[in-house]
């Protein structure tokens, strides 16, 4: 009964998110090797990638009206650009 | 007649926000806020430099702060309409509304006292100045509580034509969440949660102004909803509900 | 009262052409959610700006953080979100008991998060790292503190969802509030997903 509830897209997404978390933790821990680009692009990018999936598949924005979904996707893009930009250029 | 007075009350509240900004910012120059980590000497010097601006701007605030009352009276009445009688929520609104003008006039009294005798001991001036900010920025409880009650009322309003649209309930929750950080100023002298900080001052000030504008508009519409109900009752010759 | 049947999404009725687009919760909710996301975006940006003023200090302080606890908390919140979204699916297919257990699981995760945060904060203070120490720790405590405030609200919301999950049928408005509550919890997860790398990994 309960197990069949988990046979859904959201569970797959969860697995992806857990893997992504571990990947970014691994990359983020490998510090001090001067790989600032890797950090900004990979770690922050992975964060925004995770945010996007939480929004689309957990908050169910994938099935939302395009305006709402569009606003959310815009937020993700802007967030990544601003944070990565500030990391790289400030 | 009711409608005219009620709408005037709503607009008066909004006008007072403009008035507050003029008095505190334009005239008194207390916004942008001074630094909590200033020394007593530096604080006293500010009160020397801005003595008359502060005294005049804040004297006006002390006189006019009470003009917020009709706005909140209207708000309380709308909550009463949703609640159906002068119940706990409506009365709490009234009680908290009583404290609202004090948030502006009481703090102003301290700042005016600080500016009244600029030649005095700077430590005393600093203490009075601290009190101004503690009340002005830090006293967030009453308004946040009012706003949460209002949000709750919006959601439980089951009448056919509700006074407020549902999004207004969510809007009030958003405001409440963002208004809370002001209460932390007593713990910090620098940084974003100090009385001049981004999270404790600037964001709450911005969202408060937005809230007043939006709520004025929504109250005006609620007055129209009430007036339409009154007419409908009159047409079908029903008794008006008790005040 | 009519029970509004929300058309199911995943693994649902494939006979209809295309599922109608549906606003999760209700439109007004998104004023709250987007509004919070935008303001937290400003908080994140402020942190990055402060970091740019003292990058070495921020990096040095970052390395004294409890990375393990931060990572554990991230995984805990992700799991709690999985429980919540699955619980919503359970409610929609009227599996009330499953829904309640899943929400209890999410609640347990939320409480575990709070517990670990308390452990983390206490450890930091004992090591001598306080908010007044330097700009990094100031922002660390404030940002995670503001997030924790949201977690508390989220826990209250989860308890409310739990009370609704047991009901045999939910009207359209009730279901919208339930979905909305779930979305708020996902927001709490979402904000931490950005906070964790920002504070623990990036500097």
Q: What is the pLDDT of residues A38-73, one digit of tens each?
A: 777 788 999 999 999 999 999 999 999 999 999 999
* Confidence grade of residue B12 (pLDDT, cut at 50, 70, 90): very high
Query: In chain A, which residue's Cα lies nearest the Cα of C10?
Result: A8
Using CA atoms, how far apart are residues C47 and A2, in angstroms rounded to an integer? Answer: 42
Q: How confident is the model at residue C12 (pLDDT cuts 50, 70, 90)?
A: very low
Q: Does B230 fall in a domain?
A: no
- What is the predicted pLDDT for the residue at A32? 54
pLDDT confidence of residue B241 = 73
> What pLDDT, on the 0 to 100 scale, is given for residue B149?
96
Does the pLDDT at position B137 exceed 50?
A: yes
Mutate to test the interface with C, among B154, B156, B174 (most CBs of C within 10 A): B174
Q: Which of residues 75-134 of C touch B (CB under 8 A)?
A: 131-132
Secondary structure (3-state) at B9: helix
On whether residue C20 sits in a domain, the answer given is: no
Q: Minimum mean pLDDT among B159-163, B183-187, C44-48: which range?
A: B159-163
User: CA distances (Å), C125 to each of B240, C119, C128, C200, in order?
Assistant: 62, 10, 5, 17
Evaluate whether residue B90 is within a structural domain.
yes
B150: Cβ contacts below 8 Å, ≥ 6 apart: B75, B79, B93, B169, B172
Residue C193's pLDDT band (cuts 50, 70, 90): very high
Closest chain C residue to the Cα of B193, Cα to Cα: C142
Task: Please state whether the peptide bond connecting residue A55 to the residue before it is cis, i.e. omega within 30 degrees of 0.
Answer: no
Higher-confidence residue of B33 and B240: namely B33
Q: Which of C29, C60, C78 to mutate to test the interface with A (most CBs of A within 10 A)?
A: C78
Report yes or no: C38 at the A interface, CB cutoff 8 Å: yes
Residues of C in contact with B187 (CB under 8 A): 131
Average of pLDDT values for C1-25? 59
Instruction: Please say whether the beta carbons of B180 and C148 come within 8 A.
Output: no
How is residue A32 annotated by DSSP? S
Chain C residues whose beta carbon lies within 8 Å of the beta carbon of residue A70? none
| Chain C residues whose beta carbon lies within 8 Å of the beta carbon of residue A44 | 197-198, 202
Neighbours of A90 (CB within 10 A): 11
* Res C17: pLDDT: 53
Contact in structure between A47 and C174 (CB atoms under 8 Å) = no
B-C interface (Cβ pairs under 8 Å ≥ 3):
yes
pLDDT, average across residues B208-226 = 96
Which candidate, B242, B5, B206, B90, places its Cα nearest to that of C39?
Answer: B206
What DSSP line would sit under B150-193, residue for residue?
Answer: HHHHHHH--SSS-SS-HHHHHHHHHHHHHHGGGGGGGG-SSSTT
In a domain, B172, yes or no: yes
| CATH number of the domain that residue C136 is part of | 1.20.120.80
Task: Name the packing angle between helices B122-136 and B102-116 (round to 10°).
Answer: 170
Q: What is the chain B residue with the closest CA to C137?
A: B191
Mean pLDDT of chain B: 94
Q: B152 and B77 in contact (C-beta within 8 Å)?
A: no
B228 in a domain, yes or no?
no
User: What is the model's pLDDT at position C2?
Assistant: 47
Q: What is the mean pLDDT of residues C121-132?
A: 91
Asked if the C-beta of B171 comes within 8 angstroms of chain C's C-beta atoms, the answer is yes
**C18 within domain boundaries:** no
Q: Which helix (H) or strand (E) holds C130?
A: none
| Cross-chain CB nearest to A64 (options C22, C93, C194) | C22
Chain A: nearest CA to C182, how far in angstroms? 8
Q: Do C138 and B177 touch (CB under 8 A)?
A: no
Question: What six digits make up the tokens of B111?
Answer: 């700042």
pLDDT score of B216? 97
Chains B and A touch (3+ CB pairs under 8 A): no
For the entire predicted model, the pTM comes to 0.88
On the CB side of B48, CA atoms within 13 Å amount to: 11
Contact C32 B199 (CB under 8 A): no
What total of structural domains would you count in chain C?
Answer: 1
Question: Which C positions 46-65 lie with beta carbon below 8 A of chain A?
Answer: 48-49, 51-52, 59, 63
The answer to the question of residue C4 being in a domain is: no
SS (H, E, C) C14-41: CCCCCCCCCCCCCCCHHHHHHHHHHHHH
Q: Does B199 map to a domain? A: yes
In a domain, C6, yes or no: no
Per-residue b or e along C135-174, where b marks 16 or more CB atoms closer than 10 Å to that residue's CB:
bbbbbbbbbbebbbebbebbbebbeebbebbeeeebeeee
Kindly state whether residue B238 falls inside one of the protein's structural domains.
no
Segment B76-130, tens digit of pLDDT? 999 999 998 999 999 999 999 999 999 999 999 999 999 999 999 999 999 999 9
- C171 CB near a chain B CB, below 8 Å? no
- The reply to whether residue B171 touches residue C27, judged by beta carbons under 8 angstroms, is no
Which structural domain, as residue segments, surrounds residue C61?
A: 29-202
C73/A contact by beta carbon, under 8 A: no
Q: Is A6 on the interface with C (CB under 8 A)?
A: yes
Question: Quick check: ipTM above 0.85?
Answer: yes
Number of domains into which chain B is organized: 1
pLDDT above 80 for C116: yes
Question: In this structure, what DSSP letter does residue C10 have?
Answer: T
Range of the domain at B119: 2-223
Structural domain includes residue C16: no
Nearest to A36 by CA among C55, C61, C64, C138: C55
Does some domain include residue B232?
no
Angle between the A9-29 and C67-92 helix axes, to the nearest 10 degrees?
170
Burial of A3 (0-12, 13-18, 19+ CB in 10 A): exposed
Q: Is A touching C (3+ C-beta pairs, cut-off 8 A)? A: yes
Q: Among candidates B239, B65, B77, B231, which has minimal Cα distance to B136? A: B65
Residues C58-100: pLDDT tens digits? 988 998 999 999 999 999 999 999 999 999 999 988 888 999 9
How many angstroms separate the CA of residue C5 from the nearest CA in chain B? Answer: 20
């Amino acid at each position: 009964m309960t197990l069949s509830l988990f046979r859904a897209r959201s569970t797959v997404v969860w697995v992806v998110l857990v893997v992504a978390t571990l990947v970014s933790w691994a990359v983020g821990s490998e510090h001090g090797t001067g790989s600032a680009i890797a950090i900004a692009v990979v770690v922050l990018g992975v964060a925004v990638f995770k945010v996007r999936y939480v929004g689309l598949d957990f908050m169910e924005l994938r099935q939302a009206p395009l305006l709402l979904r569009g606003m959310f996707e815009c937020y993700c893009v802007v967030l990544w650009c601003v944070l990565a930009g500030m990391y790289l250029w400030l | 007649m009711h409608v005219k007075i009620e709408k005037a009350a709503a607009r008066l509240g909004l006008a007072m926000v403009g008035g507050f900004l003029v008095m505190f910012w334009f005239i008194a120059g207390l916004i942008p806020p001074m630094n909590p980590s200033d020394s007593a000497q530096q604080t006293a010097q500010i009160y020397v430099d801005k003595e008359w601006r502060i005294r005049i701007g804040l004297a006006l605030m002390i006189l006019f702060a009470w003009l917020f009352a009709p706005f909140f009276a209207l708000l309380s009445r709308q909550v009463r309409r949703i609640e159906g009688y002068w119940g706990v929520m409506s009365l709490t609104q009234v009680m908290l509304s009583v404290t609202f003008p004090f948030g502006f006039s009481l703090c102003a009294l301290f700042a005016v006292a600080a500016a009244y005798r600029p030649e005095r001991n700077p430590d005393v001036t600093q203490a009075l100045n601290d009190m101004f900010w503690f009340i002005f920025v830090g006293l967030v409880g009453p308004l946040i509580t009012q706003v949460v009650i209002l949000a709750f009322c919006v959601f439980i309003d089951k009448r056919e034509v509700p006074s407020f649209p549902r999004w207004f309930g969510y809007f009030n929750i958003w405001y409440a969440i963002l208004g809370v950080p002001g209460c932390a100023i007593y713990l910090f002298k620098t940084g974003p949660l100090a009385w001049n900080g981004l999270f404790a001052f600037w964001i709450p000030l911005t969202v408060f102004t937005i809230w007043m504008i939006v709520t004025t508009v929504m109250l005006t519409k609620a007055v129209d909803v009430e007036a339409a109900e009154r007419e409908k009752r009159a047409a079908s010759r029903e008794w008006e509900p008790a005040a | 009262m009519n029970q509004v049947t929300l058309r199911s999404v995943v693994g649902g009725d494939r006979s209809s052409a295309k599922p109608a687009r549906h606003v999760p919760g209700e439109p007004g909710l998104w004023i709250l959610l987007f509004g919070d996301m935008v303001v937290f975006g400003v908080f994140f940006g402020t942190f990055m700006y402060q970091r740019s003023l003292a990058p070495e200090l921020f990096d040095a302080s970052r390395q004294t953080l409890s990375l393990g606890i931060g990572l554990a908390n991230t995984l805990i919140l992700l799991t709690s979100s999985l429980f919540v979204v699955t619980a919503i699916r359970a409610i929609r297919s009227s599996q009330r008991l499953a829904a309640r257990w899943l929400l209890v699981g999410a609640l347990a995760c939320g409480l575990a998060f709070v517990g670990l945060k308390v452990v983390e904060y206490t450890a930091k203070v004992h090591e001598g790292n306080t908010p007044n120490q330097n700009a990094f720790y100031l922002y660390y405590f404030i940002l995670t503190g503001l997030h924790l405030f949201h977690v508390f609200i989220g826990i209250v919301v989860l308890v409310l969802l739990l009370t609704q999950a047991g009901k045999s049928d939910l009207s359209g408005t009730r279901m919208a509030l339930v979905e909305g509550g779930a979305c708020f919890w996902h927001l709490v997860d979402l904000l931490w997903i950005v906070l964790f790398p920002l504070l623990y990994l990036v500097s």
